[in-house]
C-alpha cells in the first residue's frame, strides 16, 4: 500500500545469474591440474582470441576477447586450452534446469547468463535473495561451479548487481522510498559510466570527454541536458542512471533462427564461388547450432543479385539436425535449384537454419550409425576451429 492508500503496482523481483569465468571454470573443474593456475581458453594460432580467462589469469590483465598473443605476453606462464563447447552446452542446460525449479520465466542472454523473473514464485520460496542463494547452492553442489547473482526490481539493476562483487557473490539492489518508488540513485551514483547499458568503449570516451564519468554525473546533468547532448540515448541513460527500467523478462527470446550472410565488396558471378561461400556459412551455422545445443528443422539460402532482386530457397529437413554435413548438402541442393537462365552477378548470399529448437527429433531406426559418424566429424571440426582460433 502507498501512503495515499492506493494499491502499489506489483513490484517485480528479477534475478540476473552469471557464471564466473565460465569456460575457464569448467576447464579447471574438469582438469584438476589446471586448478589455481592462470588458464586461457581459446585458439593459439594466427588470429586466435581469448574466449575466457580464469581469475588467476585476470590478475595479469588477461581478458576475454583479447588477442591470444597479447594475453600470452601479459601472462607467459598461462595454460592455454582449446574451448570444448559440448561441455559448456551441457553445463548451460544443467544451470537452466536449476533456474527452472524456481520460475518458468527465464530469459537466457548467453550460455552462462540469464534473467529470471521470480515475482510469481515468492509465495513459494520466500524472497528473491532466498531464491538466489538456493540457486547458488545448487550450482555449487551439483555442478562444482560458482555463479554470481544480482537481485533487483528490474533487469538493469539486477545485471549491475550481479557484477558488483563478482565472483561467487549475491548482491541485492532493492531500495524504495516511502511511496514505493525505486530509490537507487544514491547507490548507483558512484558507478563508472562503463557499466551503463549500451555504453561501449567509444561511447564511454565521448561521455567522459563531456565530463560524464559516473552515474552520478548523469543524474546531476538531468534529462533535458542529456537529451540535448546525446538524443534519445541520453533519455534512456538518464532513467537508467536512477535505476529506472521497465523492460520485461522476455521468456521467448531464444533464437528461432541461426544465420550467416555476406555482402561482397565486388559482385560475384561464378556459381562455384558462391557455392564455396554458402558452404563456409553452413559450417559456421553448424558450429553455432552445436554450441547452443540447437537443431534446425528447415534451412534456407538467400541470394541477392546485383539488381537487388532477392531470392530465398528453403526446405524442410527429414529430421532436425545440427550436423554440418547435412547443412552443407542442403545448401548445395538449394543453390542447384537456381536455373542457369536466371543466374547473374550476386551481391549478397546467406545461409540460415530456421525453426531452430532444442528438439533433436526422432532418431531414424536404421541409419547404420551414420548420425554418430557425423557427430564425430562435427566434433573434430569444432575442435580444429578452436585450435586454430578461426
Q: Provide the annotated active-site residues.
A: 113
Query: With binding defined as CB under 5 A, does residue 159 bind Mg ion?
Result: no
The residue among 86 and 163 lying less far from Mg ion, judged by its C-beta, is 163
Minimum distance, C-beta of residue 113 to Mg ion, in the bound complex (Å): 5
CA distance 201 to 218: 17
Burial label for 85, CB within 10 Å (0-12, 13-18, 19+), is buried
* 112 makes contact with Mg ion (CB under 5 A): yes
- Cβ 239 to Mg ion, closest distance in Å? 26
Helical (H) or strand (E) element with 40: strand 39-42
> Residue from 14, 18, 79, 236 that binds Mg ion (CB under 5 A)?
18
Q: Give the torsion sign (CA, 203, 207, 208, 209).
A: positive
Q: How far is the CB of 26 from Mg ion (least distance, A)?
A: 11
Instruction: Please identify, using beta-carbon distances, which residue of 52 and 317 lies nearer to Mg ion.
Output: 52
Nearer to Mg ion, 163 or 267 (CB): 163
Shortest Å, Cβ 236 to Mg ion: 24
Nearer to Mg ion, 16 or 290 (CB): 16
Sheet holding 170-173, edge to edge: 106-110, 113-117, 14-19, 147-152, 170-173
Show the site string, 21-40: x = touches Mg ion by CB under 5 A, - = not. Answer: -x------------------
Give the side-chain half-sphere CA count within 13 A for 357.
9
Integer Cα distance of 158 and 171 in angstroms: 9
Question: Which three three-digit cell numbers place residue 158?
Answer: 539486477
Q: Do 79 and 24 meet the contact criterion of CB atoms below 8 Å apart?
A: no
**Strand-by-strand arrangement of the 39-42 sheet:** 50-53, 39-42, 79-81
d(CA 18, CA 143): 14
**Segment interacting with Mg ion, rule: CB under 5 A, options 6-14, 106-114, 309-317, 340-348:** 106-114
Under rule CB under 5 A, residue 108 binds Mg ion: no
Which sign, positive or negative, has the C-alpha torsion 249, 255, 256, 260?
A: positive
245 binds Mg ion (CB under 5 A): no
Q: Do residues 116 and 122 lie in contact, with contact meaning Cβ atoms separated by under 8 Å? A: no
Helix, strand, coil % over all residues of the chain, rounded to 5: 45, 20, 35
Q: Residue 149, interface with Mg ion (CB under 5 A)? A: no
Q: How far apart are CB 201 and Mg ion at their closest, in Å?
A: 19
Size of the site for Mg ion (CB under 5 A): 4
38 three-class SS:
coil
In the complex with Mg ion, which residue's Cβ is closer, 19 or 327? 19
Closer by beta carbon to Mg ion, 136 or else 347: 136
- Determine how β-strand 147-152 pairs with β-strand 14-19: antiparallel
Query: Cα–Cα distances in Å, from 71 out to 60, 79, 247, 390?
Result: 9, 11, 37, 17
Residue 51 C-beta: closest distance to Mg ion, Å: 11
52 binds Mg ion (CB under 5 A): no
* Stretch touching Mg ion by CB under 5 A, among 110-118, 132-140, 294-302, 321-329: 110-118
- CB of 110 vs Mg ion, minimal distance in Å: 8
Nearer to Mg ion, 30 or 333 (CB): 30
By CB under 5 A, tell whether 17 contacts Mg ion: no
* Residues at the site binding Mg ion, with contacts judged by CB under 5 A: 18-19, 22, 112
Amino acid at each position: 500500500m502507498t501512503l495515499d492508500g492506493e494499491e502499489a503496482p506489483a513490484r517485480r523481483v528479477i534475478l540476473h545469474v552469471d557464471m564466473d569465468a565460465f569456460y575457464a571454470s569448467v576447464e579447471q573443474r574438469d582438469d584438476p591440474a589446471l586448478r589455481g593456475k592462470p588458464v586461457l581458453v581459446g585458439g593459439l594460432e594466427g588470429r586466435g582470441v581469448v574466449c575466457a580467462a580464469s581469475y588467476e589469469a585476470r590478475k595479469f590483465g588477461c581478458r576475454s576477447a583479447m588477442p591470444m598473443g597479447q594475453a600470452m605476453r601479459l601472462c607467459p606462464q598461462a595454460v592455454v586450452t582449446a574451448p570444448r563447447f559440448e561441455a559448456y552446452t551441457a553445463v548451460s542446460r544443467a544451470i537452466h534446469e536449476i533456474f527452472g525449479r524456481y520460475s518458468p520465466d527465464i530469459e537466457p542472454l548467453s550460455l552462462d547468463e540469464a534473467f529470471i523473473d521470480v515475482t510469481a514464485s515468492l509465495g513459494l520460496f520466500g524472497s528473491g535473495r532466498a531464491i538466489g542463494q538456493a540457486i547458488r547452492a545448487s550450482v555449487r553442489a551439483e555442478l562444482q561451479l560458482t555463479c554470481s547473482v544480482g537481485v533487483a526490481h528490474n533487469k538493469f539493476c539486477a545485471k549491475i548487481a550481479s557484477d558488483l562483487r563478482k565472483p561467487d557473490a549475491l548482491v541485492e539492489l532493492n531500495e524504495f522510498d516511502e511511496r514505493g518508488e525505486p530509490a537507487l540513485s544514491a547507490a548507483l551514483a558512484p558507478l563508472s559510466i562503463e557499466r551503463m547499458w549500451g555504453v561501449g568503449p567509444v561511447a564511454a570516451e565521448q561521455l567522459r570527454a563531456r565530463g560524464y564519468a559516473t552515474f552520478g554525473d548523469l543524474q546531476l546533468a538531468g534529462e533535458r541536458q542529456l537529451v540535448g547532448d546525446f538524443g534519445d540515448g541520453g533519455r534512456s541513460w538518464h532513467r537508467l542512471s536512477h535505476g529506472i527500467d521497465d523492460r520485461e523478462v522476455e521468456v521467448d527470446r531464444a533464437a528461432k533462427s541461426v544465420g550467416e550472410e555476406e555482402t561482397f565488396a565486388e559482385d560475384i558471378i561464378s556459381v562455384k564461388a558462391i557455392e564455396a561461400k554458402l558452404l563456409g556459412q553452413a559450417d559456421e551455422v553448424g558450429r553455432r547450432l552445436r554450441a547452443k545445443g540447437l537443431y534446425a528443422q528447415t534451412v534456407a539460402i538467400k541470394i541477392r543479385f546485383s539488381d537487388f532482386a532477392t531470392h530465398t530457397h528453403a526446405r524442410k529437413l527429414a529430421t532436425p539436425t545440427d550436423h554440418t554435413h547435412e547443412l552443407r548438402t542442403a545448401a548445395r541442393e538449394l543453390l542447384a535449384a537456381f536455373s542457369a537462365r536466371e543466374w547473374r552477378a550476386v551481391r549478397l548470399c546467406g545461409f540460415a537454419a530456421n525453426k531452430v529448437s532444442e528438439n533433436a527429433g526422432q532418431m531414424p531406426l536404421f541409419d547404420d550409425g551414420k548420425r554418430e559418424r557425423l557427430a564425430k566429424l562435427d566434433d573434430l571440426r569444432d575442435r580444429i576451429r578452436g585450435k586454430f582460433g578461426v
